[in-house]
C-alpha cells in the first residue's frame, strides 16, 4: 500500500475530528484492555511465562539461520515447498506464479499482515486474479477499499451502520437486498456470502503465526474458522510468513500460545489453533493437494545485531496498540502504513524508511504502557528513542523543532539563565490561566491547545522546591 | 539452492556477526530439537487426572462449548441422539469414518441417519472423535487422516466431538507427547478447538458462528 506516514500530523487532525472513528475507538477499552487484564489475573504464572517467551525468542534470533534451514528441510520432507523472498515484489511474484500454475481465478484469504505488507491484493487484482478476504473484519474493509486499522481487529475503526452500508452496497447480487444493522444479522449475511467463496476458490492463502522447525509445520490462530476453510477447501494452500516467525519445537509454540491469546483478546486460547504440515496425504478425503510456504525477509535480517533486533521478538498480539493512549486517540489509519501503534512506530521506519516514517517514533508520550504489556518484553519506548536519535542525526527533524531543541540545550547548560527562564515562564503561564487554572489557547502552541487545555503550573518550580529541600536538610 | 535463499541467510549471519554455526553448537541445537525441553507449565495443568477432567469441563464451558458426560463408550450414540432431540436439531449426521466411532452401537439409534464421509456444503451436524482433550484451556485436539477428514470440524453448523476421558491431559505439551507416542508422522492437520467459532469484528461484540460451527458439543465418555 502507498504509505501516508509523511502526512502523519494531517492524518492525526483528521482522525481527531472524525466522530465515527472516535466512537468506534471507545470499544477498545472494553473489548481488549479489560479482557486482557482479567485473563492475565487468572494465570499466576503469566509473568514468568513472559520472561520465558522473551528468552525463547532471543534464542531463535541468535540461531535464526539454523532454524530456518531446518524448517525448510522439514517442509520439503513432508511434501511441501518453501519459497524465499527478499522483498515484497519477489513475494508477490511467487504467489502469482503459483496461482497461474493452477489457472486460479478466485483466491480466498485468511487474515495475514504479511499480505498487507506486500500489497498482495492489489497485485493479484492487477493480474486478473480475484482475492477475497474471509476474516470478517478484513472482508468489511475490503468492501470499503480500506486497509486494516489494527493488526488483529482490522475493522475496529468502524461502527455497525458503516458495516451495514457496505453490505447493502455489495450483497444484492447474493440475494440480500434488505439493509440490516444488527451484528447477528450482519454476521449471518457475511457467513452465507463467504461460504460460497470458500467452496469456489482455487487457492487459499493464509498467514502463519509460527513456523515450527521440528516438524515443518505452519500454525495459524483464529476465532472465526475462516483460516481453516481457506486452507482445507481449495486445491492449493499458500502460507505467507516472515523469517522471524520460526520457532524450534511444538513445546516452544505451546509457551507462546499461552502468551498470545491472553495478550491479544484476553481469551484463554483462541478458538482455532491449526497446525499444518505438508499437503494432503495419500487416502485423505480432504485437504489441499499443494502446500507452499513463502518466507519473506523484507529488511528484517538487517535488524539482527543492531539496536532494533529485539523488535523481531514480536508475536503480533496487538497489546501495545490496545494500551497506547496515542493509538486510542487516533486509531490505526493515521499512522499511514500497515503496522500502527507502538510496534508499528518501531517497525515501519525499518520497513519503509525513516525518511517516510520519521514522525511515527515521535507519536508517543513514552508513558511505557506498551512495554509493560508486551508479552515478550520488547523495549518499545527505547527503540522509538533510537529512531528519534537517527531522525535528528539525519536532519529529518523539522527546522522549528531543531531550533527549539537547540535553544533549550543552550539555556539548560546555563543554570542561572535556566532558573530565570523557568520562573518567568511559570509566572507567565499562571497569568495567562488567571483563575481558571488552565489555558484554552496559547500562541505558538496551537497544536497542543486546539485539542486540550494546558494546565497552568501550580506552586513553585522543581528547582525552587529542590533548593528548599536541601536547605531544610542542612 | 536458490541465490535469494543464500543471500537472506548470509545477511542473517552477517547481522549475527558469525559464519554458519560450528559443529559443537549445531550438535547442541540438534539435541534441543530431538528432545524438546518443556518451559514452565501452569500449575493448573498439573493436577490429578480427576482434577484435569473437571478442569477440562469447566474451561470448555467457559469457552461456550457444551458438555455431556456418559459412563461408557457404548452410551455415546444414545447421548448424541438425545442431544439432537433435546435441541430440536436435524437427525441427519455426517460422521468421520473413524474406527473408534464405527465400533459404537449406532444401530440402536434408528432415528439417526448417518453418512460416513468428508463434509459438504449444507451439512448441518457432524460427529468426530478427539485425539486428546487439553484441560488447561478446555481445548480439543483433533488430527486429520483418511478416517478423520478435517472439513467435518469446520463446515457443519453443529460439531459434536467424542472425547474419551482417559485421553484428557493437563497441558498442550502432554498432548504432543501423546501424539509422539503413537509413532506416526505429524498429521497433515492438527486442530486445537476451544469452543465454537466466533467473531468480535462488529463493534467488538462477540457473536458465535462466524464461519465455523455455531455450536461445539462435547460428549465425554468414561469420566
- For the stretch B191-205, pLDDT in tens is 999 999 999 999 998
A84-98, A136-150, A434-448, A449-463, range with the lowest pLDDT: A434-448
User: pLDDT band at residue A474, thresholds of 50, 70 and 90?
Assistant: low
Q: Do residues B2 and B99 share a domain?
A: no
A258 in B contact zone (CB under 8 Å): yes
Q: For residue A304, give the nearest of B4, B13, B22, B8 by alpha carbon.
A: B13
Sorting pLDDT into bands at 50, 70 and 90, what band is A140? very high
Question: Is the domain of B210 the same as that of B101?
Answer: yes
The DSSP 8-state label assigned to residue B93 in this structure reads E
Q: Tell me the H-state helices in A240-335.
A: 250-264, 319-322, 325-330
Provide the 10 A C-beta neighbour count for residue B19: 10
pLDDT band, very low/low/confident/very high, at A450 (cuts 50, 70, 90)? confident
Indicate if the pLDDT at residue A215 is higher than 80.
yes
Residue A333's pLDDT band, with cuts at 50, 70 and 90, is very high
Whole-number mean pLDDT of chain B?
97
Same domain, B178 and B212: yes
Q: How confident is the model at residue A449 (pLDDT cuts 50, 70, 90)?
A: confident
Q: For residue B182, give the CATH number of its domain.
A: 3.40.50.10420
Asked if residue B72 and residue B32 are part of one domain, the reply reads no
Q: What was the ipTM of the complex prediction?
A: 0.98
Mean pLDDT of A70-82: 98
Region B77-97: what's the mean pLDDT?
Answer: 97
Mean pLDDT of chain A: 94
- Please state the pTM of the whole predicted model: 0.94
Q: How many domains does chain B have?
A: 2
* Gap between the Cα atoms of A147 and A87, Å rounded: 20
- Biggest CA pair distance of chain A: 88
Least confident of A44-48, A102-106, A206-210, A451-455: A451-455
Q: Specify whether B4 is located in the same domain as B17.
A: yes
Residue B118 and residue B201 share a domain: yes
Nearest-CA distance from A136 to chain B in Å? 6
| Same domain as B10, residue B82 | no
- Do residues B129 and B23 both lie within one domain? no
pLDDT category, A161, cuts 50, 70, 90?
Answer: very high
pLDDT higher than threshold 70 for residue B1: no
Does residue A167 carry a pLDDT above 90?
yes
Residue of B nearest to A67 (CA): B29
Residues B13, B60, single domain; the answer is: no
- What domains can be seen in chain A, in order of their start residue? 43-296 (3.40.50.10420), 411-473 (no CATH)
Specify the pLDDT at position A439.
81
The average pLDDT across B78-82 equals 98
Range of the domain at B2: 1-37
Interface subset of B 101-140, CB within 8 angstroms of A? 117-119, 121, 136-139
Q: Of the ranges A30-34, A286-290, B60-64, which one carries the lowest mean pLDDT score?
A: A30-34
Q: Kindly state whether residues B210 and B166 are assigned to the same domain.
A: yes
Contact A223/B198, CB-based, under 8 Å? Answer: yes
Q: Is A365 exposed, middle or buried (0-12, 13-18, 19+ CB in 10 A)?
A: exposed
Q: Which residues of B161-187 are buried (b: 16+ CB within 10 A; e: fewer)?
A: bbbbbebbbbbbbbbbbebeeeeeebb
Contacts of A140 in chain B (CB under 8 A): 201
Q: Say whether both B130 and B217 belong to one domain.
A: yes
Q: How many angstroms away from the CA of A133 is the closest CA of chain B? A: 13
What is the per-residue pLDDT for A212?
98
Using a 10 angstrom Cβ sphere, with 0-12 exposed, 13-18 middle and 19 or more buried, the burial of residue B140 is buried
Are B28 and B114 part of one and the same domain? Answer: no
Mean pLDDT of all residues in B141-169 = 98
What is the per-residue pLDDT for A428?
Answer: 87
Q: What is the mean pLDDT of residues A70-94?
A: 98
Amino acid at each position: 500500500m502507498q504509505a501516508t506516514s509523511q502526512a502523519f500530523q494531517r492524518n492525526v487532525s483528521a482522525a481527531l475530528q472524525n466522530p465515527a472513528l472516535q466512537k468506534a475507538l471507545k470499544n477498545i477499552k472494553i473489548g481488549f484492555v479489560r479482557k486482557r487484564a482479567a485473563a492475565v489475573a487468572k494465570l499466576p504464572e503469566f509473568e514468568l511465562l513472559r520472561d520465558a517467551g522473551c528468552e525463547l525468542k532471543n534464542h531463535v534470533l541468535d540461531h535464526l539461520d539454523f532454524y530456518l534451514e531446518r524448517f525448510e528441510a522439514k517442509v520439503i520432507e513432508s511434501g511441501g515447498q518453501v519459497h524465499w523472498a527478499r522483498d515484497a515484489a519477489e513475494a508477490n511474484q511467487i504467489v502469482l506464479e503459483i496461482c497461474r500454475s493452477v489457472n486460479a481465478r478466485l483466491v480466498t484469504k485468511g487474515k495475514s499482515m504479511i499480505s498487507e505488507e506486500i500489497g498482495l491484493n492489489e497485485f493479484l487484482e492487477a493480474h486478473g486474479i480475484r482475492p477475497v478476504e474471509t476474516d470478517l473484519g478484513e472482508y468489511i474493509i475490503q468492501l470499503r477499499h480500506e486497509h486494516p486499522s489494527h493488526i488483529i481487529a482490522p475493522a475496529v475503526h468502524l461502527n455497525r451502520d458503516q458495516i451495514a452500508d457496505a453490505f447493502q452496497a455489495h450483497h444484492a447480487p447474493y440475494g440480500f437486498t434488505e439493509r440490516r444493522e444488527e451484528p447477528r444479522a450482519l454476521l449471518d449475511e457475511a457467513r452465507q456470502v463467504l461460504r460460497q467463496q470458500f467452496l469456489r476458490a482455487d487457492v487459499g492463502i493464509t498467514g502463519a503465526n509460527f513456523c515450527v522447525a521440528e516438524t515443518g509445520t505452519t500454525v495459524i490462530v483464529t476465532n472465526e474458522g475462516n483460516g481453516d476453510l481457506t486452507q482445507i477447501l481449495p486445491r492449493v494452500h499458500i502460507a505467507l510468513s516472515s523469517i522471524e516467525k520460526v520457532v524450534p519445537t511444538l513445546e516452544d509454540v505451546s509457551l507462546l500460545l499461552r502468551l498470545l491469546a491472553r495478550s491479544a483478546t484476553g481469551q484463554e486460547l483462541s478458538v482455532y489453533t491449526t497446525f499444518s504440515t505438508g499437503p494432503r496425504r495419500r487416502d485423505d478425503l480432504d485437504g489441499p493437494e499443494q502446500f507452499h510456504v513463502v518466507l519473506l525477509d523484507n529488511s528484517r535480517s538487517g535488524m539482527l545485531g543492531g539496536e532494533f533486533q529485539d523488535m523481531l521478538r514480536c508475536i503480533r498480539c496487538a497489546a501495545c496498540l490496545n494500551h497506547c493512549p496515542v493509538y486510542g486517540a487516533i486509531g490505526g489509519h493515521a499512522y499511514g502504513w500497515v503496522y500502527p501503534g507502538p510496534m508499528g512506530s518501531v517497525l515501519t521506519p525499518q520497513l519503509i524508511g525513516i525518511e517516510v516514517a520519521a514522525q511515527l517514533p515521535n507519536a508517543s508520550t513514552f508513558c511505557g504502557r506498551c512495554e509493560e504489556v508486551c508479552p515478550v518484553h520488547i523495549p518499545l519506548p527505547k527503540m522509538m528513542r533510537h529512531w528519534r536519535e537517527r531522525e535528528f542525526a539525519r536532519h529529518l527533524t523539522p527546522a522549528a523543532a531543531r531550533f527549539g531543541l537547540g535553544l533549550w540545550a543552550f539555556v539548560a547548560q546555563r543554570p542561572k539563565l535556566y532558573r530565570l527562564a523557568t520562573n518567568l515562564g511559570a509566572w507567565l503561564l499562571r497569568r495567562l490561566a488567571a483563575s481558571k487554572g488552565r489555558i484554552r489557547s496559547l500562541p505558538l502552541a496551537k497544536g497542543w491547545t486546539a485539542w486540550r487545555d494546558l494546565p497552568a503550573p501550580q506552586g513553585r518550580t522543581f528547582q525552587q522546591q529542590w533548593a528548599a529541600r536541601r536547605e531544610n536538610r542542612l | 539452492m536458490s541465490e535469494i535463499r543464500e543471500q537472506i541467510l548470509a545477511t542473517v549471519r552477517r547481522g549475527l556477526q558469525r559464519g554458519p554455526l560450528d559443529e559443537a553448537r549445531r550438535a547442541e541445537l540438534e539435541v534441543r530439537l530431538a528432545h524438546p525441553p518443556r518451559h514452565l507449565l501452569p500449575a493448573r495443568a498439573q493436577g490429578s487426572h480427576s482434577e484435569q477432567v473437571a478442569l477440562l469441563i469447566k474451561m470448555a464451558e467457559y469457552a461456550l462449548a457444551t458438555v455431556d458426560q456418559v459412563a461408557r463408550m457404548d452410551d455415546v450414540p444414545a447421548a448424541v441422539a438425545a442431544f439432537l432431540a433435546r435441541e430440536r436439531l436435524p437427525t441427519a449426521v455426517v460422521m468421520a469414518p473413524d474406527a473408534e466411532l464405527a465400533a459404537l452401537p449406532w444401530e440402536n439409534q434408528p432415528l439417526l441417519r448417518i453418512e460416513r464421509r468428508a463434509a459438504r456444503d449444507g451439512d448441518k451436524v457432524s460427529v468426530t472423535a478427539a485425539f486428546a482433550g487439553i484441560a488447561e484451556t478446555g481445548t480439543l485436539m483433533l488430527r486429520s487422516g483418511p478416517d478423520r477428514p478435517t472439513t467435518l470440524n469446520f463446515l457443519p453448523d453443529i460439531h459434536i466431538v467424542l472425547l474419551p476421558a482417559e485421553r484428557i491431559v493437563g497441558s498442550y505439551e502432554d498432548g504432543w507427547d501423546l501424539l509422539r507416542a503413537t509413532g506416526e508422522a505429524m498429521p497433515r492437520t492438527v486442530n486445537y478447538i476451544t469452543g465454537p467459532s466466533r467473531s468480535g469484528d462488529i463493534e467488538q461484540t462477540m457473536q458465535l458462528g462466524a464461519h465455523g460451527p455455531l455450536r461445539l458439543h462435547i460428549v465425554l465418555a468414561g469420566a
